[in-house]
Amino acid sequence: MGFPALKTEETYTYADYLTWSDDERWELIGGAAYNMSAAPSTRHQEAVGELFFQIRSFLKDKGKCKAFFAPFDVRLPKAVKKHDHDITDTVQPDIAVICDPEKIDDKGCLGAPDFIIEVLSPFTASKDYIKKRALYETHGVKEYWLVHPYDNLVTVFVMGDNGRYETPVFHEGKGLIEVKALPGLSIDMDAVFGE
């Protein structure tokens, strides 16, 4: 899970991605294909489920923001080129919250979500921490969390006024963590980590 797949010397687009088998999950970062087909661990799924439950419960009846969980395509086009054959970055974050309804379509999300959470696994940690962090920063994701389910840690990146992520904040995964991108929401990490 998480290793480059297909022909690494070729650049793939979302149009290519749409032709691949639905039996496998893929992500595109800079046109490189990453196979995401292996099933995540039980601990990973428990963390994703609890995070999604808390976020969805908060958002219910609060307006236009919507939460989605993988598999859910987030297409990150470069500038104004929004055609499938131009998009070389398509990811499936564990959780994505989108507050602009214009970005949501039948294929998923076109443009940057407001808040993304990735729950790490040993196979995806490096990609999530380095490649996806850079990708999300470049495209303007307001807040990005990396949840370490085996270490009970959370790394939080928040977009600064300069369009770059501020210095990350590390949490031990206890108590409440405020979500800056969704004012009023604090996540109970004791529930996420089963404490």
Q: Which pLDDT tens digit goes with each residue over 33-63?
A: 888 767 788 899 999 999 999 999 999 988 8
Lowest mean pLDDT, pick from 21-35, 62-76, 94-108, 172-186: 21-35
Residue 13, amino acid: T
Whole-model pTM?
0.90
Which domain CATH number covers 27?
3.90.1570.10
d(CA 48, CA 51): 5
Q: At 109, give phi and psi (nearest 5°).
A: -125, 130
pLDDT value of residue 33: 87
pLDDT band at 89 (very low <50, low <70, confident <90, very high): confident
| Cβ-proximal residues to 172 (8 Å cutoff; 6+ apart), any chain | 152, 153
d(CA 185, CA 187): 7
Res 8 pLDDT > 70: no
pLDDT value of residue 81: 65
Res 80 pLDDT > 80: no
Residue 178 burial (CB count, 10 A):
12
Full domain range(s) for residue 141: 4-192
Res 136 pLDDT > 70: yes
Domain count for the chain: 1
pLDDT value of residue 41: 85
d(CA 191, CA 31): 37
Lowest mean pLDDT, pick from 28-37, 87-96, 121-130: 121-130
